[in-house]
Amino acid sequence: MTTTDQRKRQVILAAHFPGVNNTTVWSDPDSGSQIDFDSFVHLARTAERGKLDFFFLAEGLRLREQRGRIHDLDVVGRPHTLSVLAALAAVTEHLGLAGTINATFNEPYELARQLASLDHLSGGRAAWNVVTSSDAFTGENFRRGGYLDHALRYERAGEFIQTARELWDSWAPGTVVADRATGTYVTDPRAGEFEHHGPQFDIAGRSTVPRSPQGHPVILQAGDSVEGRELAASTADAIFSRHSAFDPARAFYTDVKDRLATYGRDRDELKILPAVTYALGETEEEAQANAAAVRRQQVSPQTAILLLEQLWNRDLSAYDADGPLPEVDPDVSADSIIRGRAPMYKEPLKTAKEWRELADAHGYSIRDLVIHVTGRQSFIGTPAQVAEQIDTYVQAEAADGFILVPHITPAGLDPFVDSVVPLLQERGVFRTDYEGATLRENLGLPPARPASSTARARRAVSA
């Protein structure tokens, strides 16, 4: 029995395994390993205890470098996404297992097989977050190497998903019948046969993995450009978005949902899931104090200098984080001192001027300033206030749900599951038990459309 109120829009919740960027607080005594399997198990089991929709892993294909050294806001190294998810399939029962995997450097035949295999092993819980991230520095790791420009990356990503869907469709439902008496295992002699000829992929053969429980694993998309939004609107089941403040979230939601009709899709066929952080307390004042304390932990003096260097594009290691901002301007003539991620600041001189004005007006030190201008907790309050904020976003169509990013690995989700989830359940907007057999069903998604219909819709739009 559930208490969900079908008149109200239901909230989707996922758990992001923390570990990169300065959201994660490694100095906290409660922080554990980002590599030990126990850490993954802890977060996944907590998520499943809270009836969350899925567990989510981001992907970093090369350790970033800053001034030629491994960028120490990253904790060094992490295991491969698909191996972790396959292992988690064995210790969870209902939780979706979502992995970020690059479409620029992989090949559809291999990745489609891996994802279909995960879908089999997990009984229909696999999801793929398609990213295109490409820079020559990251690309050096791969055989095809180097760089694809933005437009080409998206052409490749679109054709990659299309080809993967064709591979998944190459085994139609019900083509596998194991009849031991006659020794027949396959009723359709063409099962698994595929042929794809396109600008990015020209392949043919027979897929080895029979149709998996979801038919097609759930597909998420995480690019923010127009090309990324179009890719999501044409073919994804969900978007991992960075727009978490209410107004930008609502604008993003409307923008992307409005694109769906062009591809003959309903507004419910694509779920919008911003990444969010949270700080809780027994009173609002306590929550605000906790949020401020976490911000100071996240931006240690050393982190403040490292983050400032990313705008200034200079070695600022001689500066005191508790002192004033540098008087020298950012270096816009040199190559970026950070390698392995896109430059965050498009207009460094203008931004530096704004930061100096802000620091002067408030008497901010470097550290205070960085705390002020870099990310902050999305939801701050008592559990009841946070549950209300989440519900408000979803009812107001600013999101279909959220990907929660805790700041402590691996136990940072525990307080949320223990205190906020029950209140969302009481409000009738979150399940009290898993109802669907697969992730796709739990997310309220329709069965996957055949690859041929998605391709037709994409072709019609680009014509």
Ligand X SMILES: Cc1cc2nc3c(=O)[nH]c(=O)nc-3n(C[C@H](O)[C@H](O)[C@H](O)COP(=O)(O)O)c2cc1C
Q: Known binding site for FMN: residues?
A: 100, 150, 154, 225
Among 18, 223, 348, 381, binds ligand X (CB under 6 A): 223
Which among 127-135, 330-338, 371-379, 418-426 is the span making contact with ligand X, rule CB under 6 A? Answer: 127-135
- Cβ 458 to ligand X shortest distance, Å: 17
Q: Which is nearer to ligand X, 260 or 384 (CB)?
A: 260
Give the CA distances from residue 294 to residues 271, 387, 429, in Å, rounded to whole numbers and listed in that order. 30, 20, 29
The yes or no reply on residue 141 touching ligand X (CB under 6 A) is no
- Cβ 10 to ligand X shortest distance, Å: 22
Please state, in angstroms and rounded to a whole number, the distance separating the CA atoms of residues 204 and 197.
8
Q: Which is nearer to ligand X, 131 or 390 (CB)?
A: 131
Long-range contacts (CB closer than 8 Å, 24 or more residues apart) made by 25-33: 25/294, 25/297, 25/298, 25/407, 25/408, 26/75, 27/297, 27/300, 28/297, 28/408, 30/408, 30/411, 31/408, 31/409, 32/409, 32/410, 32/411, 33/409
The yes or no reply on residue 100 touching ligand X (CB under 6 A) is yes
Q: Which residue, 460, 11, 10, 129, is CA-closest to 265?
A: 460
- Cβ 92 to ligand X shortest distance, Å: 21
Q: Which residue, 418, 414, 419, 409, is CA-closest to 17?
A: 409
User: Are 413 and 404 contacting, i.e. CB atoms less than 8 angstroms apart?
Assistant: yes
Which among 176-184, 240-248, 254-262, 440-448 is the span making contact with ligand X, rule CB under 6 A? Answer: 240-248
- Cβ 142 to ligand X shortest distance, Å: 13
Which among 69-77, 189-197, 221-229, 361-369 is the span making contact with ligand X, rule CB under 6 A? Answer: 221-229
- Dihedral sign from CA coordinates of 54, 13, 17, 260: positive
Q: Which is nearer to ligand X, 8 or 80 (CB)?
A: 80
- Cβ 153 to ligand X shortest distance, Å: 7
Residue nearest to ligand X (CB): 223
- Cβ 63 to ligand X shortest distance, Å: 13
Binding residues, as ranges, are 100, 150, 154, 225
Among 18, 139, 215, 228, binds ligand X (CB under 6 A): 228
Among 33, 225, 283, 302, binds ligand X (CB under 6 A): 225
SS3 content of the chain, % helix, strand, coil (to 5): 40, 15, 45
Among 240, 253, 355, 416, binds ligand X (CB under 6 A): 240
H helices present in 198-283, as ranges = 226-235, 246-258
Among 28, 59, 65, 107, binds ligand X (CB under 6 A): 59
Q: Is 58 helix (H, G, I), strand (E, B) or coil?
A: coil
Number of amino acids touching ligand X (CB under 6 A): 17
The structure tokens listed for 12 are 């989707």
Q: Which is nearer to ligand X, 143 or 180 (CB)?
A: 143
Residues numbered 149 to 188 that lie near ligand X (CB under 6 A) are: none
Q: Is 83 helix (H, G, I), strand (E, B) or coil?
A: helix
Among 28, 65, 72, 224, binds ligand X (CB under 6 A): 224
Q: Which is nearer to ligand X, 174 or 343 (CB)?
A: 343
- Cβ 130 to ligand X shortest distance, Å: 8
The yes or no reply on residue 80 touching ligand X (CB under 6 A) is no
Among 242, 350, 353, 459, binds ligand X (CB under 6 A): 242
Which residues are paired to 381 by β-bridges?
A: 280
Among 86, 167, 270, 275, binds ligand X (CB under 6 A): 275
Q: Is 322 helix (H, G, I), strand (E, B) or coil?
A: coil
Among 13, 47, 52, 58, binds ligand X (CB under 6 A): 58
Q: Which is nearer to ligand X, 132 or 207 (CB)?
A: 132
Q: Which is nearer to ligand X, 215 or 274 (CB)?
A: 274
Pairing of strands 65-66, 338-339: antiparallel
- Cβ 243 to ligand X shortest distance, Å: 9
The helix (H) or strand (E) run that includes residue 119 is: helix 108-121
Neighbouring C-beta atoms of residue 254, cutoff 10 Å? 13
Residues 6+ apart with CB under 8 A from 304: 321, 366, 367, 370, 371
Give the CA distances from residue 281 to residues 289, 292, 419, 444, in Å, rounded to whole numbers and listed in that order. 8, 12, 10, 32
First to last CA, the chain: 49
Q: In degrees rounded to 5, what are phi and psi of residue 316?
A: -115, 20
Neighbouring C-beta atoms of residue 458, cutoff 10 Å? 21
Q: How many residues does the chain have?
A: 463
Among 132, 234, 374, 377, binds ligand X (CB under 6 A): 132
Binding positions for ligand X, rule: CB under 6 A: 58-59, 100, 102, 131-133, 222-225, 227-228, 240-242, 275
